[in-house]
Amino acid sequence: MKKKLLALILILGSGFYTSYAQQPVAGPRMIHVEGGSFMMGNNTGSGDEKPAHKVTLNSFYLGQFEVTFGDFKKFVDATGYKTDAEQPDTFRLKHGLPPRGINNGTWNTTMTGKPLPLLDSLTPVGNLSWNDAVAYCNWIGKVTGKQFRLPTEAEWEYAAKGGAKSKGYKFVGGNNLDEVAWYLSNSGRRSHTIGKKMANELEIYDMAGNNREWCSDWYGNTYYKTSPEENPAGPPRGSHRVLRGGSWGSEAGRMRISYRNNEFPYNSALDFGFRVAISGEPYVKKVEPKQQVDLMKDLDTKGFIDIYGINFDIGKWAVKPESFPVIEQITTYLKDHPQVKIMIEGHTDNTGKDAANMTLSDKRSQSIKAEIVKRGIDAGRMETKGYGASKPIADNKTAAGRTQNRRVTIKKL
């Protein structure tokens, strides 16, 4: 409850929603959504929610709240913009659009044509088409200098699920629908002041319920079958745009996070709204550092160890830099055990000639010793010996039948 009150106090205190003509225009409050991967869709949902599939997104910013009546009024006051719902049928027909038919109201009037009061400034703006939402994004981008846009459908679902902070809730922000959303059973069939229900893991409000929200994508009912894994943005063309989130008029069964809705981009309804987004930095996959295996741990108990994978330049005996971490482990062991002396026994791939095998394996053991000496170990503590191409513990062969014997044995003397 404290979080909800604080959020509203911050909004009201900013002056953003009061005295529309006098206050400077500020951008919507944005939440940073760290990029990452998640499973989008629902294999037990409707047909267009299938299949569940992995999606990886860049980081982005998403509006903490839905765009409000007060937000949109600033836009209309500044530009004189007329929404699709306010266009006469003659205008719609001229542009190839069907007539609206019955009056469903507009963004600032009720279904009976009665003006909405300014007291509704903190409720989500409704009765907006996709075109209207894009027009607002373009305007707020120009006056703030930021590139506002609608979120993609994938961004919307990722943020609704809590992004990288997701706790796996059934609904947006929790498992109790009444605590997180205004929907048919608790809304009184109307929208409500933003931020009065619980936020989700990212501190974003009203992604479940209140108004449905336009996304940037064209809608495709089979798109999930071919959707790219990285930053999907919907089909390249279509007739309908995507709406997500359910609304104050939605039944509980349509409030699941993965539920999809769609409509013509020029159509609007009382519960059609939106929130804005801004692109962020590219997603960088976090690589967990590999835990280094202690190659020397058994030397004291067994008296010897076999080390595989020390690489040398082909036909030579110089240790490749990629194998220096192994050399470092041997060096560290000798520094920690100053009284220990070791034998370095070298092996090699089978060249087909025994004499060559012996020479090459001996030179390789000597090159390992030389690298350890470079790191401060007395050469007198190490002896070397070549064993040619003796068979290793694992009988690995190349396609040509040559045994892979790139092995080093370290023995305590």
pLDDT digits 0-9 by tens, 113-164:
788 887 778 999 999 999 999 999 999 999 999 999 999 999 999 999 999 9
Give me the pLDDT at residue 95, please. Answer: 63
* 181 domain-assigned: yes
Does 262 lie in the same domain as 329? no
243 and 306 co-located in one domain: no
**Which letter, b or e, does each residue of 36-47 get, where b requires 16 or more Cβ atoms within 10 Å of its Cβ?**
bebebbbeeeee
Long-range CB contact pairs, 225-228, < 8 A, 24+ = 225/51, 227/40, 227/53, 227/55, 227/154
Number of domains in the chain: 2
Q: From CA 390, how far away is CA 133, in angstroms rounded?
A: 74
> Is the N-terminal amide bond of 151 cis, ω within 30° of 0?
no
Residue type for 66, please?
A: E
Closest to 72 in 3D by CA, of 21, 11, 133, 14: 133
pLDDT-based confidence at residue 289 (cuts at 50, 70, 90):
low
Mind listing the pLDDT tens digit for each residue in 179-236?
A: 999 999 999 999 999 999 999 999 999 999 999 999 999 999 999 999 999 999 999 9
Return the half-sphere exposure (C-beta side, CA atoms, 13 A cut-off) of residue 190.
Answer: 8
| 236/90 same-domain check | yes
What are the helix and strand counts (H, E) for the chain? 9, 13
Domain residues for the domain of 309 are 299-412
Residue with tokens 């160890």: 305
Burial class (CB in 10 A: 0-12, 13-18, 19+), 167: exposed
Q: Give the pLDDT mean for 396-405.
A: 41
Residues 309 and 274 in one domain: no
CATH number of the domain bearing residue 318? 3.30.1330.60
Tokens at 410, concatenated: 């370290």
> Do 105 and 237 have their domain in common?
yes
Q: What is the pLDDT of residues 353-397, one digit of tens each?
A: 778 778 888 888 888 899 899 989 999 999 988 877 755 433 334
Q: Is 286 part of a structural domain of the chain? A: no
Collect all residues with Cβ–Cβ distance below 8 Å to 45 and sequence separation of at least 6: 256, 258, 259
pLDDT at 291 over 70: no
Same domain, 364 and 398: yes
**Residue 363: enclosing H or E segment and its boundaries?**
helix 354-374
285 inside domain: no
Assess if residue 136 is contained within a domain: yes
pLDDT over threshold 90, residue 316: no
Residue 289 belongs to some domain of the structure: no
